[in-house]
Amino acid sequence: MPFAETPLRDEYAAAVERVARRTLDALRGDGGAAALADPDGAVPRPTLAALRVLGADLFAPQLLTGAAPDGPTAVLLAEARQAFPAPDPAPDSALDSAAVSADAALVIAWQDWAAEQVLARTPYGTGAPPPVPPPGPEAVGWQTWSVRMAQLSVLALPGLDGPVHDTARAHTLALARGTVRSMLRRDLPTAARLARWLAWAGAEGRPLRLEVEPVLERIRLAGNGSARTGLELAIARRMLDRSSRPPTDRRSRVR
């Protein structure tokens, strides 16, 4: 990568951390909307990129409390999606800096689907259909599948449901294996995302194949303290709380 791109990459990474921190603060507070725009109302391009990266997780403070997605955040996310449209897949992404591999494009498409499902509950949704379902563990093996599910952890939120969720419900053992494998490899961000899926499955009434709380605590203690991983952990803990409620107390899913 050219040296000139390094400061820009760092700036965008810092923006993701900043937006994740604001979302995490809102989640730990009263569950209201995060203050994502600058006080003067301007939205710098790195912030738009960060909004694009976090997607549906921007609404986690509302979704986890059963509140409606807030309008200001929906406006910002819609603007971010326009500023950074999904890249096109290409056989050789090295030939085009805006292109990505087919696997990466599928991940982005499902991440965008999650955001779209939330925006559909606001005036800013477009009603886009779901993408092609990704292959399950029977087709690619539990190791590869668990890595893909970690990349799709943004789908593990109340109010979202689709083919990816159906596969997660049916393969909690593979999720548990992937979590343990990630812990042994000291890949704590991946472990946090898979533990979040396990917590989601527990909230759905599925039997857990792993004690999730000790995993979350270990990641908290041994992790690098990033706000984005902290957001994954906080969402997982909230869903563990949901799994302990009687079924009649759980929020209904929205397709």
* Distance, CA of 54 to CA of 37 (rounded, Å): 15
Q: How does pLDDT run across 228-238, given as a tens digit for each residue?
A: 999 999 999 99
**Which residues does residue 100 pair with via DSSP β-bridges, in sequence order?**
89
Q: How does pLDDT run across 127-158, given as a tens digit for each residue?
A: 778 899 999 999 999 999 999 999 999 999 99
pLDDT score for 93: 45
pLDDT score for 95: 44
pLDDT score for 29: 84
Flag residues of the chain having pLDDT under 50: 1-4, 93-95, 248-255
**10 Å Cβ neighbour count for 238?**
22
pLDDT score for 1: 37
pLDDT score for 227: 96
Total-model pTM = 0.88
